[in-house]
Amino acid sequence: MAKKEEKTNVMRVLEQKKIPYHSYTYPHEEGVAVDGISVAELIGKPVNSVYKTLVTRSASKANYVFVIPVEDNLDLKKAAKAVGEKSIEMIHVSEIQKLTGYIRGGCSPVGMKKQFTTVFQTDAEELEQIIVSAGKIGFQVELAPKDLIGLVRGQCADVTIQE
C-alpha cells in the first residue's frame, strides 16, 4: 500500500474527479521498468486485470494510446483500423516522456500532457476492476473500467493479437 502522503498525478486526477480507486505499490529498482506480468504477481492481482498503456503514431503523424492486457500484444493492423488510420507503429521509447510526461514503465492513460484518442481492448469492459499504472514506476491504481474509460473519453475495440 502506498503511504498516504505519496500520491502520483494520476491519483490526484482521480481524486479531483471523485473517481474511487485503490492504489498499490511494488518494489522496483529506481528508474527500471518492471514487466506487467511481474507487476500483477507483486501486487497479488490476477494478470488479466492488469493493463499496459502503449503509445503509437500513425502514418498521418497522429498519436494514439492503446490500453491492453499486460500479457497481450498490440495488433498494429487492428489498432490502425480501430482509429481509422492506414497504419500505425509504436513510438520510440525515447519519445515517451516528451509526448506523455511519463517514462517507460510508468505510462498511464490518465493525466498525459495531451489527451490522445485512447482505445481499450474490449475485454476491459467485462472486468469489475482494471489496474493501470499510476504514472510512476512502482505505483498502480485499480478502478472500475467504466470510470477509467469515461475519464479519458476512451473507446473499446479488439486490438490485440489472438494467439
pTM value is 0.93
For residues 148 and 123, the answer to whether their CB atoms sit within 8 Å is no
Rounded-to-integer distance, Cα 30 and Cα 46, Å: 25
Segment (H or E) for 130: strand 130-133
pLDDT digit string (tens) for 78-106?
999 999 999 999 999 999 999 999 988 89
Rounded-to-integer distance, Cα 63 and Cα 72, Å: 21
| Residue 53 burial (CB count, 10 A) | 22
Q: What is the per-residue pLDDT for 5?
A: 58
Mean pLDDT of 54-66: 96
Residue 118 has pLDDT above 50, yes or no: yes
For residues 104 and 111, the answer to whether their CB atoms sit within 8 Å is no
Q: What is the per-residue pLDDT for 159?
A: 98
Percent of the chain's residues with pLDDT above 90? 83
Q: Which residue has the cell 481509422?
A: 84
pLDDT digit string (tens) for 2-11?
445 589 999 9
Q: Does domain 9-157 have CATH number 3.30.1130.10?
A: no
Segment (H or E) for 42: helix 36-43
